[in-house]
């Protein structure tokens, strides 16, 4: 809620949308938003480059994507990532997804960040994650 208030909610970020894969008709949707000083490595995860969007616009895109695909979905949760006291990226994901960003190295003046995610829906009845991210 704090990130949506004031300038933070309207600031534009480079935005990628991606989703889980699996045997269910509906998938979970997530986003990564990052500044121009970040190189985002999606680690073999297919994604759509949405250009520059604000946090508020991501909420609108999420609603529109659910409507277009006729999915129910879940509300998205935002998490901010900081480096040196400055917000450098956000993740926004539906429930039953775990999305993390890892700083890999500095690439010149840019920070190299890797995105990984786990699908926490259970397809076997065992309650565990669908797949190890290392399998991608």
pLDDT in tens, 37-82: 999 999 999 999 999 999 999 999 999 999 999 999 999 999 999 9
- Residue 100 burial (CB count, 10 A): 13
Q: Domain span at residue 67?
A: 6-129
Closest CA to 63 of 53, 52, 54, 73: 73
Does residue 43 lie in a domain region? yes
Give the chain's domain count.
1
Does residue 134 lie in a domain region? no
* Residue 15: its H or E element: strand 13-19
Does residue 54 lie in a domain region? yes
In angstroms, rounded to a whole number, what is the distance separating the alpha carbons of residues 107 and 67? 39
Does residue 114 lie in a domain region? yes
Does residue 81 lie in a domain region? yes
In angstroms, rounded to a whole number, what is the distance separating the alpha carbons of residues 67 and 43? 28
Does residue 64 lie in a domain region? yes
Phi, psi at 59, each rounded to 5° = -60, -45
Question: What integer is the mean pLDDT of 92-104?
Answer: 95
pTM of the entire predicted model: 0.85
Kindly state the tokens that stand for 87.
């917000």
Q: Are 100 and 120 in contact (CB under 8 A)?
A: no
Does residue 107 lie in a domain region? yes
Residue range 69-81, pLDDT digits in tens: 999 999 999 999 9
Does residue 135 lie in a domain region? no
């Amino acid at each position: 809620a704090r990130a949506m208030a004031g300038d933070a909610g309207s600031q534009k970020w480079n935005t990628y949308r991606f989703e889980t894969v699996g045997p269910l008709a509906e998938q979970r949707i997530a986003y990564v938003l990052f500044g121009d000083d970040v190189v985002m490595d999606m680690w073999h995860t297919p994604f759509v480059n949405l250009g520059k969007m604000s946090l508020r616009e991501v909420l609108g895109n999420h609603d529109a994507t659910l409507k277009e695909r006729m999915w129910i979905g879940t509300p998205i949760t935002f998490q901010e990532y900081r480096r040196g006291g400055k917000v450098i990226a956000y993740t926004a994901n539906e429930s039953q997804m775990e999305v993390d960003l890892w700083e890999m190295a500095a690439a010149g003046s840019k920070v190299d960040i890797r995105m990984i995610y786990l699908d926490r829906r259970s397809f076997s009845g065992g309650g565990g994650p669908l797949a190890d991210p290392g399998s991608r």
